[in-house]
Amino acid sequence: MTPSFDVARDEILGALKSVLGTPESMIPLHEPEFRGNEAQYVHDCVESGWVSSVGEYVTRLEDDLAARFDVPRAVATNNGTAALHICLLVAGVEPGDHVLLPTLTFVATANAVSYTGATPHFVDAESRTLGVDAAKLREYLGTAARLESGKLFDRATGARIRALVVTHIFGHPAELDALRELAEEFCLVLVEDAAESIGSLYRGAPTGRHGAVAAVSFNGNKLVTTGGGGAVLTTSKELGERAKHLTTTARVPHRWGYMHDEVGYNYRLPNLNAAMGCAQLERLDDMLVRKRTLAERYRDAFAGVEGVTFLEEPEGAQSNYWLNAIVLAEAHVGHRDELLDVLNSAHYMSRPLWTLMHRLEMYADCPRMDTSAAEALEGSTINIPSSPRLADPGRSPAVVG
C-alpha cells in the first residue's frame, strides 16, 4: 500500500538529508567545476592573442573529443543546438521533410529540426531509459508510414520522413541497438542528441558514436563545460569535413581570399572556450567517478522510501548520471508541484521534466504518435541536486553552506 503523501514527503526529505545534509543555502541542481588547468589554458590564450575561433586549443579539443568518443572526426561549435542543427543538415534533412524525435526532450532538439525547415514528428518514450520507445515506434511506423524505393513517407501528408533523433535523457543511454535496427529497417538516418551524455557508455561504447552523427553540449550546466559550446561527432570523415565547412561560414580555403560556396553558419567555438574544454576533459574521469558515487548514495537512500523510485541506469549501460531523478508513484503525481515547493524551500534545488514538446504552442500542431508514456513521466519525474562535488571524498553531509 502506497503511504500518504505527507509520509512520502517527509521520507523524501529524510533521504535527501541523509545524502546532502541540512543545507544553509540552496544546493544547485548542477554546478560547473573548475579544479584543473582551466585558468592556465585560458591565460595561454590571452597571452598568445589567439582568443577567437582559430587557435591550438580548438584543434586540440576536437582531437581530444574524437579520441574520447572513438570517432574519426569531431567539430567544435559555439553551442549544442548549433551542433545538432549541423548534424541534421549533414544527415540530409531538407525543408518539408519530417524528422522523428522524442516529445520528451529539451526544446533545443525540436528547435534544431525547425531551423532546417523540416517538421518535428514527435514520438513516445519508455520508462526504463526515458529514451525513444523503439518497439512502440516500430508499430506506429507500420501503420502511419510507408516505405517506397528505400524512402519512408508519412501516409497522412506524403512528406519524406528523413531521420530519427534519439536523446539520451539525463545521461541515460537510450536502447541504441533496437533504435539502430529500426532506423535501418525504415531507411532513416540515426542522429544522436548526446547533449547530456558525455562519458556515458552503451554496451561498453560511448554514446555519440552509434548513429551517423551526434551532437554534444558544453553548456554551463553540463558535466563538461566550455561556458557555452558544443560539438558535432561523426563516424564519417566525409561528414565531418562537411560539418567543419558549414560551421565556418562555408569559406573555401585560400591564403587571403574570401570565397564561400554555399550558405554557411558562423558556429565556430572561440579558442578561449576550447581551452576550458580541454582542461575539463582532462578531469572527466574523476568527475564521472564522483557522479556515480553520488548516484549510488541516492539509490541506497531512496531504497526504503515507498511511493518513490530512484531512476537508475538501464541494463547494459553505464550512465554519467548528469542529472539524478526520482519518479513518484501514481498516487503522488498530483502532489508533484507541492513536493517541488517543499524541496526548493528546504534548499534542495529540484525541478520537473521539461514541458513535453507537443504541449508547446509552436509545436502543438506537429504530427505525433500516442505519447502517453512520456505524459506519465512528465507528471512524475523530479530532478534533484547532482553536482559532482556533492560526492567529494571527505565531504560531510552534516551541513552544506
Query: What's the chain's average pLDDT?
Result: 96
* Cα-Cα-Cα-Cα dihedral sign, residues 138, 139, 145, 146: positive
Please give the Cα distance from 207 to 69 (Å, whole number). 7
**From 144-158, 176-190, 216-230, 385-399, the region with the lowest mean pLDDT:** 385-399
Predicted structure pTM score: 0.96
Whether residue 4 is predicted with pLDDT greater than 70 in this model: the reply is yes
| Residues in CB range of 203: below 8 A, 6 or more apart | 176, 177, 316, 317
Q: 221, exposed or middle or buried, with CB in 10 Å at 0-12, 13-18, 19+? A: middle
Can you give the pLDDT at residue 393?
86
Can you give the pLDDT at residue 394?
78
Confidence of residue 2 (pLDDT cuts 50, 70, 90): confident
pLDDT, tens digit, 9 for 90 and up, residues 292-336: 999 999 999 999 899 999 999 999 999 999 999 999 999 999 999
Mean pLDDT of 218-242: 97
Can you give the pLDDT at residue 401?
43
Mean pLDDT of 130-143: 98
Mean pLDDT of 251-271: 95
Whether residue 381 is predicted with pLDDT greater than 50 in this model: the reply is yes
Domains in the chain, start-ordered, CATH in brackets? Answer: 5-30+284-400 (3.90.1150.10), 38-282 (3.40.640.10)
Question: Is the CB of residue 103 less than 8 Å from the CB of residue 123?
Answer: yes
Confidence of residue 395 (pLDDT cuts 50, 70, 90): confident
Can you give the pLDDT at residue 184?
98
Confidence of residue 396 (pLDDT cuts 50, 70, 90): low
C-alpha cell at 332: 503522488
Confidence of residue 400 (pLDDT cuts 50, 70, 90): very low
Mean pLDDT of 16-34: 97
Can you give the pLDDT at residue 398?
55
> Strand, helix or coil at 194?
coil
Confidence of residue 1 (pLDDT cuts 50, 70, 90): low
pLDDT, tens digit, 9 for 90 and up, residues 280-292: 999 999 999 999 9
Can you give the pLDDT at residue 391?
97
Residue recorded with cell 549510488? 296
Beta strands in 182-250 (DSSP E): 189-193, 201-202, 205-206, 213-217, 230-234
Q: How would you label 99-116 residue by residue, b for 16+ Cβ within 10 Å and e otherwise?
A: bbbbbbbbebbbbbbebb
pLDDT, tens digit, 9 for 90 and up, residues 332-351: 999 999 999 999 999 999 99
**From 49-58, 169-178, 296-305, the region with the lowest mean pLDDT:** 49-58
C-alpha cell at 29: 541542481
Whether residue 399 is predicted with pLDDT greater than 70 in this model: the reply is no
